[in-house]
Amino acid sequence: MQPIPDYAMSVAEQLRSMTEAGTLQADKAQMAVAVQLDRILHEMKQRRPAAKKSALGWMFAQKRKPLQPVRGLYVHGSVGRGKTMLMDLFFRMAPVDKKRRAHFHEFMADVHARIHAHRIKLKNGETRQADPVPPVAAALREEAELLCFDEFTVTDIADAMILSRLFTELFARGCTLVATSNVEPGNLYRDGLNRGLFLPFIELLKRHVEVTTLDSPTDYRLEKLESLPVYVAPLDAEATRLMDLAWERITQGRPEVPTEIEMKGRSVSVPRAVGRAARFTFAQLCEKPLGASDYLEIAKRFDVVFIDQIPHLGPARRNETKRFIILIDALYDASVRLFASAVVMPEALLTEKKGTEGFEFDRTVSRLFEMRSADYLTLHDGRRAEV
């Protein structure tokens, strides 16, 4: 992607430039979303302090006429249609100093960590504020006027129960939200436990963002697919042999050392580790009560992850399926090199497309394919450390 020289160029202009250069295919659906992102850029530019005769006069003007928050955008659509690319272009061009771009799971892990820290302060008598949400929201707003989330999804009840209160505070403080997702707002946390308590967040979201669909007919992610022998199926002696052979080559025969990743008073066990390579079974990663923060730490700690014996997934293994979706998100976002053995190929892993997991598993399948591509492996090589 070519560098963006200044704020004058719009997302739409960037798309046209990339199309003319032959690095991007012309796509009307992407251009329509780009125009909506440019609306946000324009409104943000209008909010920037203009040249003024008196700094004091500007201050009083601000007091007389408070700035209204810029209405954000929620882009949903199938995997591989260019949502992330558009988000990246927009974020780089956003004319605000305080902005944050994150995967939604990573952001929520940070929120829960801040809430935990506040409760410790309350317990130790360092604060009298019993409710941690307002101060946490205030701190987040101080750090970022613009929040950009890729793959906005809600599968965890702890996240679901806090989102309405958290974003009520953030929107009241002038935060602008731009997000991409595979599902429309009405399908967030679909079939989730106590979903009725989550519904106010959906209404809040619709009041503060425009909702649009990116329905390009082409899955550009799969177009770039160049399969490599890093995902093997079915689960038989040959799969075991290939996984062991790959492990031997990655670790170069060095001895394995079990390790622990410390996590706020607890730890995540890594049964087989050599340098920055780790090997787990599916059961060790997804049949234990692990969450997004655990998987994010694994992705930070290791450049190569092996997952053995992935079974069929679906309603009978709903919790395991949810964890697997979050795990692949974390590994993919960190460009971790993945080796996996499974009962079937990715597109056949989910036995029944039902509920939130059914919507989200399309993304998981696409990512499992892309993690075998030459383009993805190039990203991995860019972050790889000595194993």
- Per residue in 131-178, pLDDT tens? 999 999 999 999 999 999 988 988 888 899 999 999 999 999 999 999
**Is the pTM for the entire model greater than 0.75?**
no
Looking at residue 298, its amino acid is I
For the chain, the average pLDDT equals 85
Higher pLDDT, 308 or 373: 308
The pLDDT of residue 51 is above 50: no
Beta carbons of 100 and 178 less than 8 angstroms apart? no
Instruction: Report which DSSP code applies to 251.
Output: H
Residues ≥6 apart with Cβ < 8 Å to 187: 356, 359
Q: What is the pLDDT of residue 1?
A: 42
Cα distance between residue 45 and residue 153, in whole Å:
29
- Tell me the CB-side half-sphere exposure of residue 372, using CA atoms within 13 A: 20
- pLDDT over 70 for what percent of the chain? 87
Q: What is the pLDDT of residues 188-206, one digit of tens each?
A: 988 888 899 999 999 999 9
Question: Model confidence at 22, in pLDDT bands (50, 70, 90)?
Answer: confident
Lowest mean pLDDT among 16-25, 30-39, 231-240, 307-316: 16-25
What's the number of CA atoms in the CB half-sphere (13 Å) around residue 86? 31
Q: Name the band, by pLDDT with cuts 50, 70 and 90, for residue 54.
A: very low
CB atoms inside a 10 Å sphere around CB 268: 19
Rounded CA-CA distance 286/289 in Å is 7
Instruction: Please determine, for residue 59, whether its predicted confidence score (pLDDT) is greater than 70.
Output: no
- For residues 181 and 5, give the distance between their C-alpha atoms in angstroms, rounded to a whole number: 29
- Higher pLDDT residue, 26 or 148? 148
Residues 350-384 pLDDT 10s:
998 877 777 789 899 999 988 887 667 666 554 54
Query: Dihedral of the CA atoms 375, 378, 380, 384 (nearest 10)?
Result: 180
Ramachandran bin of 370, using left for φ above 0, alpha for ψ from -120 to 50, beta for the remaining angles:
alpha
- CA pseudo-torsion sign 174, 180, 186, 188: negative
- pLDDT band, very low/low/confident/very high, at 339 (cuts 50, 70, 90): very high
Tell me the per-residue pLDDT of 211-259, one tens digit each, with 9 for 90 and over.
999 987 776 655 554 444 689 999 999 999 999 988 988 887 788 989 9
The CA–CA distances, whole Å, from 127 to 115, 120, 166, 360 equal 13, 9, 19, 40
Residue 267 has pLDDT above 80, yes or no: yes
Question: Are residues 297 and 263 in contact, defined by beta-carbon separation less than 8 angstroms?
Answer: yes
Task: Find out whether 228 and 381 touch, Cβ atoms under 8 Å.
Answer: no
Q: Is 300 helix (H, G, I), strand (E, B) or coil?
A: helix
Residue 5 has pLDDT above 70, yes or no: no
Domains of the chain: 11-213 (3.40.50.300), 224-383 (3.40.50)
pLDDT reading at 65 higher than 50:
no
Mean pLDDT of 93-98: 93
